[in-house]
Chains A and B, each alone.
Chain A
Amino acid sequence: MGDKKTVDARGMACPGPIAKLTRAYREAKNGDVIEILATDQGFIPDIKAWIESTGNKLIELKQDGGVIRAVIEVTAKK
């Protein structure tokens, strides 16, 4: 089991939560889990598209009281 890291991107519009995820993903290794918190509604389609194109695993995607919570497992690193 890898490490778990939380990225808080709440209240961030531009450049957006994907910017924070990119930074966390660079430091992660396969098996790690990254949890991202965001309030930007555009993040839901964005994270789905990101997962699809990068081939990582989406474990959870939920919205609760305006806060979107995505949990991904890093699987696509070389």
Chain B
Amino acid sequence: MNGEKVLVVGGGAGGLLVSNLLVGDGREVTLVTNNPEHYFQPANLFIAFKGESPESYKRSVESLLDPKVRLILDKLSKLDLGNRTALTERGKRLEYDYVIVAAGARMDYNSLPGMKENFEMFGDYYSSPEAAVKVWNTVSRMKNGKLIIGVPDLIIKCPPAPHKGVFLAAEFFKKEKRDVTVELLYPSPHIYTEAELAKTIESKMKSFSNIEYRTSFLIDSVDKDRKVVIGMNGEEIKYDALVLIPFHKGPEIDVNPAEARDDDGFIKVDKRKLNITSYDDAFAIGDCNNAPTSKTGVAAHLGAFVVWKRINGRNAEYSGRTNCPLITDDEAIFVISDYDHKPVGQRFSRLKRLMEDLFVAMYFPSLRYPRKFEPIFDVYFNATEPNILGEKGW
């Protein structure tokens, strides 16, 4: 197609989807990623709190790409938006007509004193499947005491994931009849950032005798020798094991001009068109951009379709839609919102948990064959738009 060269950065859901879609138009697509493996990130919870094997949730990036996509296993180090060129760490120079950055968020353990040491000791379920195995090693051996899940910052992937961790851990300890309390330390004044949904989640937490939580708790630092989490007001809380949700920053790419990124390194985009501010041939989708919505796979998925359509001259826009599942062992709710609507009211149900399981089963094929799955996802997203579900909720 008229020599239209597309460069895609990142082998996560957004990068794979947009590559497979654009190569299907006959474009020349190159994907650069330094990780040869793609893993289903929500499964880190199943690894951390159910002891599941990481292997079943991993695929090679190559196996999820249309063979016509050129795959470069290297790290993109420089991106020059003005000259439409990029440079990899091993010195390969690339030119493009369109670039799509889908490099994800970078986990940062240095913004809080004691966090790095704590990560090395207990792991987390955000960074990698290996770090989640570390959590399982602790959880599966705990006989009594307190497991704290601490949330220092709220600009994080899958905002309900801290709560999911609390529910799954509490259910594990309950089943095993172990005397372990799970406590959530949360910075906002309600147990979820949105007040109505917070009520639903709070009453579910209260139905567990081994869940505790604190709101408006702002974590300042961790003292690993005394095993205490210290709040910004000086208050201390003792733990036996601690999982901290890491800070999220933009990807480690040297972007020229530097103004294309915000103070935290996220790439500045038009929140609906997803093009990098003041460029019409450069886009950023998913966790790496600064769109004022949740960092979630749904944003990457929908973003990939928006960019694909826009490059093909269609007038698609991203609505800010989220669809983050908050699961317990056998029930779930979905945090469904967009730029113009706060999360719709929800009740915990088994149907929603079943739908989440079905989604997990479709995950890998839906990345590899996005055109086949598009109508199916579209029907779901349309039926559950926040303004359609409305006051009645779901």
Contacts and interface: CB of A to CB of B under 8 A. Distances in A.
Direct contact of A and B (CB under 8 A): yes
B111 interface: yes
Contacts of B264: 23
A65 interface: no
B292 A11 contact: yes
Give the size category of A's interface with B. 20 to 34
B121 interface: no
Interface in A42-73: 42, 45-46, 49-50, 52-55
Contacts, number: 95
A34 interface: no
A35 interface: no
Given A22-B188, A50-B189, A11 B232 contact: no
B29 to A, nearest CB: 32
B195 A14 contact: no
A14 B218 contact: no
B123 interface: no
Contact of A26 (B218, B271, B340): B218
Nearest to A25: B218
Contacts of A19: 153-155, 188, 193
Main secondary structure of the interface of B (DSSP, over half): loop
B154 A54 contact: no
B323 to A, nearest CB: 11
A15 B234 contact: no
Given A42-B194, A50-B216, A77-B233, A13 B339 contact: yes
Contacts of A46: 188-190, 195
Contacts of B43: none
A76 B233 contact: yes
A78 B233 contact: yes
B346 interface: no
Contacts of B194: 14, 16, 42
A37 interface: no
Given A46-B195, A50-B216, A15 B339 contact: no
Instruction: Specify which of A13, A22, A50 lies most central, judged by the most chain B CB atoms within 10 Å of its CB.
Output: A13
B104 to A, nearest CB: 18
Interface of B: 111, 152-156, 159, 187-190, 193-195, 215-216, 218, 220, 232-234, 264, 271, 292-294, 320, 322, 335, 337-343
Pairs of residues from A and B, 3 with the lowest C-beta to C-beta distance, nearest first: A19-B154, A49-B189, A53-B216
26 contacts: A13-B339, A13-B340, A14-B322, A14-B337, A14-B342, A15-B159, A15-B294, A16-B193, A18-B188, A19-B153, A19-B155, A22-B153, A26-B218, A42-B342, A46-B189, A46-B190, A46-B195, A50-B189, A50-B216, A52-B189, A53-B189, A53-B215, A54-B218, A55-B233, A76-B233, A77-B233
Interface of A: 9, 11-16, 18-20, 22-23, 25-26, 40, 42, 45-46, 49-50, 52-55, 76-78
